[in-house]
Amino acid sequence: MVIAEIGTSHEGSIEKAKKLVDAASESGTDYIKFQWVYASEILHPKTGFVDLPTGKIPLYDRFKELECPPSFYKELLDYTHSKGKKFICSPFGLKSLEELLSIQPDAIKIASPELNHYKMLEALRDYRASQKEKIPVILSSGVSKMQDIEKALKITGTENVSLLHCITSYPAPEEEYNLKLITKYKKEFKIECGVSDHSLDPVLVPALSIACGGTIIEKHITLSRKTSGLDDPVALEPEQFGFMCHAVNQSLASINHYGADLGSKRIIEQISEQYGEERVKKVLGSGIKELAPSEKENYGRTNRSLHYMNDLKKGDVIKEGDIAILRTEKILTPGISPEYYDTLIGKTLTCDVSSGSGVMLSHF
């Protein structure tokens, strides 16, 4: 299936969001995806700044601008369904997850930075355990190591769960994609796999992902790369997105006609004629899981860790609200893994700490 990732490209406008749904629908996508944003679930207010065409503003404030009420997403779900497409959305914490589940989406997408948001994964697991037919879940695996993927899948389980290979870099270099990992994941985890593609080319990574056994392709869509959405610079405009869907259909036709092995070989041959054998070889990679060069520096910063939400003194006892599971991002120092959250509630500090700083075991 193809997922058109609108994300927050609507910038809070229901009219623009519907135009994006129209464009995605006409391009030939199957799923249309959004992001349910609350800034406080993602970042600490002191996380740093982002450069925009209008100037430099706090990244936290930029996310605050993208917050929308549940009614906004419910209207988009209904509008997406009216187009004959399925609605999928990413939550970023317990509040957004609960509200998203209340409108009954067709699937839940866990974005790469939330792969280690264990409290959210556990809440989703508990919800699915109460369902007779489990809602589909798609996990994205950018800026992660093999043990991170294994730990997430241990929580969610594998029933009606899919996995997307991803590089958390904007844009992501095609030559770093290592798409043979899709084949490895399918064999190792015995689930459907695909790619979340942040590269700029509309064909190279999507087509080769099918040759590697991928069955899901997610790519950002925007009305224009020149608009100010956070992901617009790496998104495809509608004409490009339609071209990608056409290339995907051609690749699928090859698989269906010739079978998996011969069809994959023919896709690789055709893409090699267009892009060159050496480049295709690099995109396919080794199939060995490791952080891509473009995302190594982001490991621990883009994904989640524990941060203090208040200035606290030596001798203070940690209570709910004093620490949070956040992305570190720009200028703060990462804390320890979110798996320690419950362990630290009720523990006593042995030093003063400042709001925003990363939580360390040595502080206790």
The domain at 301-364 falls in which architecture? Alpha-Beta Complex (3.90)
Identity of residue 1: M
Determine the average pLDDT of the residues in 187-209.
Answer: 97
Determine the average pLDDT of the residues in 203-207.
Answer: 98
Of 120, 95, 96, 94, nearest to 34 by C-alpha is 96
Tokens found for residue 99: 């509200």
Question: How confident is residue 117, by pLDDT bands cut at 50, 70 and 90?
Answer: very high
308, pLDDT greater than 70: yes
Determine the average pLDDT of the residues in 259-283.
Answer: 97
Model pLDDT, residue 55: 72
Mean pLDDT of the chain: 96
For residues 256 and 331, what is the distance between their CA atoms, to the nearest angstrom?
Answer: 49
Which contiguous run of DSSP H or E holds residue 256?
A: helix 238-258
52, pLDDT greater than 70: no
Under DSSP, is residue 305 helix (H, G, I), strand (E, B) or coil?
Answer: strand
pTM: 0.95
Interval 136-145: pLDDT, tens: 999 999 999 9
Interval 273-286: pLDDT, tens: 999 999 999 999 99
Tokens found for residue 336: 């320890």
Of 329, 324, 321, 354, nearest to 340 by C-alpha is 324
Which CATH topology does 2-293 take?
Answer: TIM Barrel (3.20.20)
53, pLDDT greater than 70: no
**What is 265-291 written as a DSSP string?**
HHHHHHHHHHH-HHHHHHHH-------
Domains of the chain, residue spans: 2-293, 301-364
Contacts 24+ apart (CB under 8 A), 256-260: 260/213
